[in-house]
Amino acid sequence: MEKIIINQYKRPKLKDPILIGGLPGIGNVGKIAAEYIIEKLKMQKLADVFSQYLPPQVFIDDEGVVKLVRNSIYYKKTGKENDLLVLVGDFQGTTQEGQYEISHVILELAAKLNVSFVYTLGGYSTGKIVETPRVLGAVTNTNLLDELKENGVVFPKGEPGGGIVGSAGVMLGLGKEVFSMNGACLMGETSGYFADPKGAREIVRVLKGLLGLDLDLADLEERSRQIEQITEKMQEDVQAKVSQKDDLGYFG
Amino acid sequence: MEKIIINQYKRPKLKDPILIGGLPGIGNVGKIAAEYIIEKLKMQKLADVFSQYLPPQVFIDDEGVVKLVRNSIYYKKTGKENDLLVLVGDFQGTTQEGQYEISHVILELAAKLNVSFVYTLGGYSTGKIVETPRVLGAVTNTNLLDELKENGVVFPKGEPGGGIVGSAGVMLGLGKEVFSMNGACLMGETSGYFADPKGAREIVRVLKGLLGLDLDLADLEERSRQIEQITEKMQEDVQAKVSQKDDLGYFG
Amino acid sequence: MEKIIINQYKRPKLKDPILIGGLPGIGNVGKIAAEYIIEKLKMQKLADVFSQYLPPQVFIDDEGVVKLVRNSIYYKKTGKENDLLVLVGDFQGTTQEGQYEISHVILELAAKLNVSFVYTLGGYSTGKIVETPRVLGAVTNTNLLDELKENGVVFPKGEPGGGIVGSAGVMLGLGKEVFSMNGACLMGETSGYFADPKGAREIVRVLKGLLGLDLDLADLEERSRQIEQITEKMQEDVQAKVSQKDDLGYFG
Amino acid sequence: MEKIIINQYKRPKLKDPILIGGLPGIGNVGKIAAEYIIEKLKMQKLADVFSQYLPPQVFIDDEGVVKLVRNSIYYKKTGKENDLLVLVGDFQGTTQEGQYEISHVILELAAKLNVSFVYTLGGYSTGKIVETPRVLGAVTNTNLLDELKENGVVFPKGEPGGGIVGSAGVMLGLGKEVFSMNGACLMGETSGYFADPKGAREIVRVLKGLLGLDLDLADLEERSRQIEQITEKMQEDVQAKVSQKDDLGYFG
């Protein structure tokens, strides 16, 4: 079999499309952001990507119907300067080879669709709960810095220290070196301990500004508030226990 | 070498054949069921499949003759609406890539033989001994649900939680997405602790109904009774020990 | 690069050649036997096999010269019924895929040289030191059993239990299924704890009979005696220590 | 995608060029030496090598710009007998297959550029801090020994015991067996515990002699002195603690 199989369902004419990649990763921040954009913009599916670089697995929906694990690309004619393509999926490629191969195939398809710019979305693990997550950036070219900074993206020196591992890094790297595409990675801060809508919210806010999208953030803000309440509750419980221990300590 | 080598021994003309796949897996339920069907229907071997995705190993029979590990396909002209193909084997593909490649090659061969429907058989691990195993199902299309339910297959929401991993899942998934084949997975409940004929018996019973097969279940019922006696004996022994301990506990 | 590179140095016309494979394995029994035959028959190198399925490594000889790890094939015009080819090497393929690919390439070359019979040599681990190692056999065809039994090879039912894993098994298996070659595996018993010339000696003795080779076993017998002395000394030391402990035990 | 992608930026006419390979490894000795030569000779980049045999990762520089991990080849027209090519990189191939494939691709490119001799640089781990590191050698041909010995390279029998694993070995081995290139490996002794400029300095000193290069060693000597001071300080601290313990011991 082909190592990667693309089932392309639609062949729309897109105007200077921009590709946004949001696969599962740290805090699932990139995936949550990308799926939110697909839902809110009512994007249509362009293609499914099946591959032996993904787990040999089907999911089963509530009706009992199987769904082979996949990556999928959605599109939207925005009526603005740039049409949109968004990549989401159940998994990233599970091997080093798979990371490169899947990224390359997606970029090849993107190049055929005249994509010349790629945003990759990801999480940046802080290891603790963050009140107001920053969006860290990395770019293929310094001339992209100003526009991103104006939209709230920060570029702290030495962060992330180890660079970017996985799809969000490889798509930018191969895009730049092999496909002459520019691009930027947007990394929303997250504790990394659970699927985190707060980092995703900040990324979507940045993309809304950068791309001039009509995007209602209300649902993502609501989900962020719910997560905040849960984590605050957990922290209170922990503190209660700690102070209880302290109290008991006096009698210990 | 070719990564997968098919030695096809027969080229029968088959009438609307259905493929049943029963490779080793949880409780070996699928394999036991598939081998039982081959034996009882006196099916003939159509092809052997050798592959570097299987262990580099030969088995040795009682006469001292080596047998390279393999998957094999058997066929039967049933004289009914659908002729039958059954896939069995010593191992599933041992890598993610192997899972996809072997499933794809089998489906390719099946497509050439005009197969348009695939049953995959497997076990569903309950982690405890089950009196009367259910047969859980998953399908490629909702229009298949009614017939399966009428034959005793159940579709509990959210089970199996992680979907179906391995050959039983990938063959359905690739069948649907790449070969436009419909299909269903039948999963017999099993503790998962030993090769379990009871789950296999329930699957064969379901298939007998679905396909209108002349299949005598007596041998499989006998093997199930034997297993039941062994496990009941084990449970009695365990309970005896537990109550002994309890008794001693009073004097402890 | 080609995954396997064959550097063939000679193109002799061989008369009904038989291939003997002795790669490293349990107790290095097969390798010791094969290298002994090459040395004693003053065989000439026919080809080197380099491959990315072998470790990325060079050895350095006493003069400081590097030697890329390899498998090698030697040949000998025996002047008898069958000319000889012997396969030896630094390693077996290190992956499942490598095991199949290297075996396949060797058999392909052998087929071009008109080989129609393959002996593979290996060790059979007994887990304890064996006074007089047996040579266990496995064959591709029952009509080979008599000649082997007449030459001292034994075929105990159910041994080896797990079949034959690795090159010695795969070469027979692929030989039979893909190249229509007959063959036999000769397994010399060994503790498996060290490189063991005793099992190798027994294999060479069997091959000498089977192939009518002029082979002086003296050196291999000498090396076997040395190993016996070492292991006897070790056993005496252990027993001395044990009885010392026992003695001390009385005073403990 | 191609498993290895070469972006070649320059096509200079080189005079009998020699290739020097210094990828990351033990004590990073080879990489430090190779990068020092590139810097001091103001070498120009000839090509970048990207590959799925390298980690799926980008680094981020201080400006926020991503850099896909790579190997790179630099060149220099020396005006002497031999022009120079130097290979450096972020990683060696991460798998056995990758080690062979990347080495093969580099040698293929080198062969096109008429390279007929390869030096590979590496570290030789001594497991302790070495006052004056030796440079150990290994060659493809005994006729290379004299010139290397005259330049201070040593060839102690049985060292390194396990041969040379990785790029420094495979490039020599494939060079010799597949590309008919001669070559030598230069291994600078190092504790192996940290990136070690002292072993690198000794290698550069040897290469300076062998190739008649105008190379100022001052910076590397300065970095070696700094490392020496740090390690001496650490040793003094350890000894102080040990003797302190001894002193206290008298009162213990």
Tell me what pLDDT residue C252 has.
36
Q: Is A83 left (phi over 0), alpha (psi -120 to 50) or beta?
A: beta
Q: Which long-range contacts (CB under 8 A, 24 or more apart) does A223-227 make?
A: A223/A197, A224/A197, A224/A198, A227/A194, A227/A196, A227/A197, A227/A198
Q: Do the chains contact at D65 and A141, CB–CB below 8 Å? A: yes
- Work out the number of other CB atoms within 10 angstroms of the CB of residue A221: 15
Would you place residue B245 in the very low, low, confident or very high pLDDT band (cuts 50, 70, 90)? low
Average pLDDT score, chain D:
94
Residue among B83, B88, B60 nearest B73 (CA): B88
User: Which fold is adopted by the domain C4-220?
Assistant: Rossmann fold (3.40.50)
Which among B104, B160, B164 is the nearest to A1, CB-wise? B104
pLDDT digits (tens, 9 = 90+) for B47-101: 999 999 999 999 999 999 999 999 999 999 999 999 999 999 999 999 999 999 9
For residue C136, the chain B residue with the least C-alpha distance is: B64
Q: Which chains touch D (3 or more CB pairs under 8 A)?
A: A, C
Asked if the model's pLDDT at residue C249 lies above 50, the reply is no
For residue A57, list chain B residues with Cβ-Cβ distance below 8 A.
162-166, 169-170, 173
DSSP string, C145-159: HHHHHHTTEE--TT-
Residue with tokens 């077996």: C92
Q: How confident is the model at residue A247 (pLDDT cuts 50, 70, 90)?
A: low
**Exposed e or buried b for every residue in A20-32, given b needs 16+ CB within 10 A?**
bbbbbbbbbbbbb
Q: Which of D6, D53, D96, D171 to mutate to test the interface with C (most CBs of C within 10 A)?
A: D96
Report the residue from C58, C63, C94 with minimal CB separation from D172.
C58
Distance from CA of B53 to the nearest CA of C (A): 7
What pLDDT score does C167 carry? Answer: 98
Give the pLDDT score at A233.
84
| Spatial CB neighbours of D159, under 8 Å, sequence gap ≥ 6 | D124, D136
What are residue B72's DSSP bridge partners? Answer: B48, B88
Write out the residues of chain B at the interface with chain A, using a CB-CB cutoff of 8 A: 93, 96-97, 99-101, 103-105, 137-142, 145, 155, 157-158, 160, 162-167, 169-170, 172-174, 176-178, 185
* Over residues B97-119, mean pLDDT: 98
For chain C, what is the mean pLDDT? Answer: 94
The strand pairing partners of C139, in sequence order, are: B65, C184
The alpha carbon of residue D62 is apart from the nearest alpha carbon of chain C, in Å, by 36
CA A17-D6-D57 angle, 5° bins: 60
ipTM, two decimals: 0.92
Residue C247: the pLDDT is 55
**Out of B26-35, B178-187, D190-199, D237-246, which region has the weakest mean confidence (pLDDT)?**
D237-246
- What is the least distance, in Å, from the CA of D5 to any CA of chain A? 8
Q: Is the pLDDT of residue B182 over 80?
A: yes
CB of B169 closer than 8 Å to CB of A56: yes
The DSSP code sequence of B1-26 is --SEEEEE------SS-EEEE--S-G
pLDDT for D244 = 65
Between CA C234 and CA C105 the distance in angstroms is 43
Q: Spell out the residues 6+ positions from residue C242 whose beta carbon is closer than 8 angstroms to its own.
A: none
Chain B interface residues (partner C, CB cutoff 8 A) = 1, 3, 5, 7, 48, 50-60, 62-69, 94-95
Query: In chain B, where do the E strands start and end?
Result: 4-8, 18-21, 44-51, 57-60, 66-68, 71-76, 84-89, 117-125, 135-139, 153-154, 164-165, 182-190
Question: Which chain B residues are within 8 Å of C105, Cβ to Cβ?
Answer: 1
Helix, strand, coil % (nearest 5) of chain C?
A: 40, 25, 35
D204 φψ region: left (φ > 0), alpha (ψ -120 to 50), beta (else)? alpha
**How confident is the model at residue A61, as a pLDDT?**
96
Interface chains of chain C (3 or more CB pairs under 8 Å) = B, D
In this structure, whether the domain defined by D4-218 belongs to CATH 3.40.50.10900 is answered with yes
How many other C-beta atoms lie within 10 A of the C-beta of residue D221? Answer: 15
Q: What is the average per-residue pLDDT within A32-45?
A: 98
Q: Which of B109, B89, B105 is nearest to B35 (CA)?
A: B89
> Residue A160: is the preceding peptide bond cis (ω within 30°)?
yes
pLDDT 10s digits, A153-164: 999 998 888 899
Q: List the single residue in B155, B163, B177 with the smallest CB-CB distance to A50.
A: B177
CA-CA distances (angstroms) from residue D115 to A190, C179, D14, D16?
51, 42, 9, 6
Average pLDDT value for residue range D14-20 = 98
**Is D57–A177 a contact, with Cβ atoms under 8 angstroms apart?**
no
The residues pairing with D65 across neighbouring beta strands, listed in sequence order, are A139
Omega of the bond leading into C12 within 30 degrees of 0 (cis): no
Q: Which residue of D has its CA nearest to A93?
A: D56
Starting at the edge strand found earlier in the chain, the sheet holding B71-76 runs B4-8, B44-51, B71-76, B84-89, B18-21, B117-125, B182-190, B135-139, B153-154
The Cα B101–Cα B83 span in angstroms is 25
**Tokens 């953030």, located at residue:** A217
Average pLDDT over every residue of B21-49: 97
DSSP assignments along C196-244, one per residue: -HHHHHHHHHHHHHHHT-----HHHHHHHHHHHHHHHHHHHHHHHHHHH
Structure tokens at B229: 């006696």
Lowest mean pLDDT among A134-138, A228-232, C200-204: A228-232
Q: Residue C182 is which amino acid?
A: N
Length of chain B: 252
The pLDDT value given to residue D162: 85
Give the model's pLDDT for residue C140.
Answer: 98
- Looking at residues C55-75, what average pLDDT do you find? 98
Q: Span A222-234, mean pLDDT?
A: 88
Is 80 exceeded by the pLDDT of residue A245?
Answer: no
Q: In this structure, are residues A86 and A211 in contact, taking their beta carbons and an 8 Å threshold? A: no
Q: Are C46 and C75 in contact (CB under 8 A)?
A: yes
Q: What are phi and psi of A97, to 5 degrees?
A: -60, -45
Residue of chain B with shortest Cα separation from A69: B173
Give Rg (Cα) of chain D.
20
Residue B229 in this model has a pLDDT that exceeds 60: yes
* Least CB–CB distance from C173: residue in B53, B64, B68: B68
The rounded percent of chain A whose pLDDT value lies above 90 is 83
Q: pLDDT tens digit string along B200-220?
A: 999 999 999 999 999 999 999
B252 pLDDT above the threshold of 50: no
Query: Which chain A residues are within 8 Å of B164, Cβ to Cβ?
Result: 57-58, 60, 66
Q: If you measure CA to CA, which chain B residue comes closest to C108? A: B1
Better-predicted residue by pLDDT, B193 or C107: C107
pLDDT of B250 higher than 60: no
Q: Report residue C88 as tokens.
A: 């030896």
Q: Which residues of D touch C65 (CB under 8 A)?
A: 138-142
Of A99, A142, A157, the CB nearest to D65: A142
Instruction: Write the Ramachandran bin of C127: left for phi over 0, alpha for psi from -120 to 50, otherwise beta.
Output: left
- Tell me if C139 and B64 make a contact (CB, 8 A cut-off): yes
* 8 Å CB contact of C60 and D174: no
AA letter at B198: K
Q: What was the pLDDT predicted at B46?
A: 98
pLDDT tops 70 at residue A88: yes
Residue of chain A nearest B136, judged by CA positions: A64
What is the rounded CA–CA span in Å between residue B119 and residue D192? 57
In a mutational test of the D interface, the residue from C1, C6, C95, C101 whose CB has the highest number of chain D CBs within 10 Å is C1
Contact yes or no for D109/D10 (Cβ under 8 A):
no
